[in-house]
Amino acid sequence: MLLDAAERSFAHRGYRASTMQVIARDAGYTRAVIYRHFGSRDQLLDALVVRVAVRKMVAIAARLETTTDPGDLVTESLVIVATEVGQDPLLRVISEHTDEGNVAAMIARSATLSEVLAGQFEMGFRQAGDKLRAGLRPGDAARFVLSVALGLLLGLVPGADDAEQVRRYVQVFVLPALVADPSPAGPVFTASG
């Protein structure tokens, strides 16, 4: 209930107006109760970011449910991360008021979320078996993909808002580090990107 109220408050009132007092009142609790669950506003924000990100992960998994090739799974999940996750209205409202001012930094700063995301990727890489590059540890592959995702969210890759360009980038530069039989290299960046 507290996270539901926090999510509604941030979405409707914005960051500054969503005080712990307002969120507690909206949830039907006192401030003391909200502070018993979350020691600070930062802890509440972290829990909210984890909640939204996990919801995004579930939605991405559902969209890619029929995709079985590990290379395709990595490619398409990174395309979705680059082109959609950073545009989530709630994550944007919250992240714009952090010191870094962006979704990627907010995600990277959350140790809980980093572990959840890396764990999801690692589980997928464990299932990939011999389709992964020989000698590559699933945990290492997971951390690598997470770092690529954060780089895409930060806009460090030119054209990260263009699904086709992200797809080419992942196929040419990321998959050769991960899969046993990557596609041949080809052009990645368009003249404008």
- How far apart are alpha carbons 81 and 145 in whole angstroms? 11
Does 79 share its domain with 34? Answer: no
Does 90 share its domain with 74? Answer: yes
Contact 59, 88 (CB under 8 A): no
Determine, yes or no, domain membership for 186.
no
Collapsed DSSP state (helix, strand, coil) of residue 132: strand
Residue 100: predicted pLDDT: 66
Does 97 share its domain with 24? Answer: no
Does 29 share its domain with 85? Answer: no
Does 80 share its domain with 17? Answer: no
Residue in the block written with tokens 């890489």: 125
Q: What is the pTM of this model?
A: 0.83
By mean pLDDT, which of 118-122, 132-136, 168-172, 185-189 is the weakest?
Answer: 118-122
Between 121 and 104, residue with greater pLDDT: 121
Our count of domains for the chain comes to: 2
Domain that holds residue 22: 1-39
